[in-house]
Structure 1
């Protein structure tokens, strides 16, 4: 969908949420969960590239980082991995 309509905000937002929140929780190991969280954040970053006039994507990226890296139950482990990235 992003290839067909790269300027459609909702597609980027929905899929990034799906990667970071829905898919990531399917894994037991926090390394795997972190990898999926970061895939969602990277997906949003790609969306920002295609939608430079859409500040909501930047806001969502900040929200994802704040919630998943800063406040999640695994925040200690995620912060360590985030710092290493």
Structure 2
């Protein structure tokens, strides 16, 4: 997903950015990933407003939050039960 939203921003397609951010927001909410949820909500709103410069500023933080969650999930999945 981070690649898709970065590509949409690079193509200056703020409508697509908003749609992808909405999907990320929903998934982040399901995982209780509060920081990613907050950033995705902001990016979704900025996309709806066509605020490309602000979107680009938040994408790095969003990517970091996504990577952190991904790392934690992978660590959990690789840890033996018991």
Q: Do both proteins adopt the same fold according to a TM-score greater than 0.5, normalized to the shorter chain? A: no
* TM-score using structure 1 length: 0.40
Give the structure with the larger helix fraction: 2
Q: Report which of the two structures shows the higher radius of gyration computed on alpha carbons.
A: 2
* TM-score using structure 2 length: 0.41
